[in-house]
Amino acid sequence: MTKNVTIKDVAQFAKVSIATVSRVINQHASVNPEIKEKVLKAIEELNYYPNNAARSLKIQNTRTIAFLVSDISDYFFTTIGKGIEDVIRNLKYNIMFCSTGNSGEIELEYLKLLLEKKVDGIILNTTGKNNEYISELSHRVPIVLSNRRINHPNFKGDFVDFDNFGGIFELTSHLISLGHRDIGVVNGPLFLSTFKERYEGFVSAMKTAGIEVSEQYPFQYIGNTYSSSQDGYEGAKFLMEADVRPTAIVLMNSEIAFGALRYFYEKQIKIPDDVSIVSFGDMFNRDLLYIRPTISYTNLKGIGKKLGELMIERIENNDIVNREIRFTPRIQYGNSTRPL
């Protein structure tokens, strides 16, 4: 914050009161055109920019929305972020990006910071480790959840996600229809709703084909490193180095898919000759990869727009009923599967 010209300086320069200056800045009420002109000239002349902090302090809102996610350099979130921006920008809101790196502590730290910044609302892709706190918080600041639900009776807010169950059900069914039965799965931690729902979609599709997936099911790997990409690598390794290999693998998100792809590439495991794969969610530059996985395509920008809309509504009134929006993914075929 550099030394600054204030509204007072402008008023003095234009020989009017600060109230008048304020009025022309905010295009409030009626101001004599001549005086208005004078003020505008003074503003220009002095290089005046209203102090946002002072304004926020007075009017009790910041017109800022926070977008707190696990990884702000992830294509997934930056694209969603663009969608949010599309919506809120016209309404003169600003977005503030923060990333938790999936750490519960950092999430908490940021949440507190946002509270101090008095953001008008928080769009949150939670780590899943502060459900209690966030539920309590949700009564004091509007919250909309992005892609990870908080299952807590006290939580107040909206939730936007894909139809995880349906997307994975479809993907798995596709593999089954190709004749696969020993289908492996690489997933992230199940306490996150996305992974849980996807897992359930997998189990259900398998069940439909008469295959029981229980804890004893051999072809599954549940990651726990909090780096999906590493989980993907480890998971692929685990499945492919076992005594009995699956003939196909379901990868539960794009980061996991990238990790798995890296493993396959290193070990020269041929896709789909050695093993077929499918993955949930769009992949950055998928058309340029050495294998184009068959995926559930998801409209990320659309998700972002919806998040933005719900947020705005909730800022206006946080007492509306909790809402849940699901986007249906569409399957997009690549060259990563083969019939058995």
Q: Residue 23, Cα to own-chain centre: how many angstroms? A: 39
DSSP string, 169-210: HHHHHHHHHTT--SEEEEE--TTSHHHHHHHHHHHHHHHHTT
Q: Considering the rule CB under 7 A, would residue 91 count as an interface residue with DNA? A: no
Q: Which does residue 141 bind out of a second copy, DNA, none, counting CB within 5 to 8 angstroms by kind?
A: a second copy
Q: How many other CB atoms are there within 10 angstroms of residue 279's CB atom?
A: 29
Query: Is residue 338 a contact partner of residue 177, using CB atoms and an 8 Å limit?
Result: no
Closest CA to 259 of 330, 188, 208: 188
Query: Is residue 299 a contact partner of residue 305, using CB atoms and an 8 Å limit?
Result: no
Residue closer to DNA, measured from CB, 26 or 154: 26
Residue 41 beta carbon to a second copy: minimum distance, rounded to whole angstroms: 17
Residue 47 beta carbon to DNA: minimum distance, rounded to whole angstroms: 12
Q: Considering the rule CB under 7 A, would residue 135 count as an interface residue with DNA? A: no
Three-class secondary structure of residue 297 per DSSP: strand
Q: Which does residue 258 bind out of a second copy, DNA, none, counting CB within 5 to 8 angstroms by kind?
A: a second copy
Residue closer to DNA, measured from CB, 6 or 131: 6
Residue whose tokens read 């294509």: 75
Choose the binding region for DNA from 54-62, 82-90, 135-143, 259-267 (rule: CB under 7 A).
54-62
Q: Considering the rule CB under 7 A, would residue 113 count as an interface residue with DNA? A: no
Return all residues near 157 (Cβ < 8 A) that are at least 6 apart: 138, 142, 143, 144, 145, 314, 322
Query: And the tokens for 53?
Result: 């902090």
Residue 11 beta carbon to DNA: minimum distance, rounded to whole angstroms: 8
Q: Which does residue 90 bind out of DNA, a second copy, none, counting CB within 5 to 8 angstroms by kind?
A: none
**Under rule CB under 7 A, which residues in 33-52 are in contact with DNA?**
34-36, 50-51
Q: Considering the rule CB under 7 A, would residue 31 count as an interface residue with DNA? A: yes
Q: Considering the rule CB under 7 A, would residue 54 count as an interface residue with DNA? A: yes
Q: Considering the rule CB under 7 A, would residue 55 count as an interface residue with DNA? A: yes
Terminal C-alpha separation, the chain: 66
Closest CA to 260 of 300, 297, 299, 290: 290
Q: Find the helix or strand (DSSP H, E) in which 188 lies.
A: none
Q: Considering the rule CB under 7 A, would residue 2 count as an interface residue with DNA? A: no
Q: Considering the rule CB under 7 A, would residue 60 count as an interface residue with DNA? A: yes
Q: Considering the rule CB under 7 A, would residue 64 count as an interface residue with DNA? A: no
Q: Considering the rule CB under 7 A, would residue 340 count as an interface residue with DNA? A: no
Query: Is residue 300 a contact partner of residue 80, using CB atoms and an 8 Å limit?
Result: yes
Query: And the tokens for 23?
Result: 């009025």
Q: Which of 27, 30, 285, 317 binds DNA (CB under 7 A)?
A: 30
Binding site residues, DNA, CB under 7 A: 4, 6-8, 16-20, 22-23, 25-26, 28-32, 34-36, 50-51, 54-55, 57-60
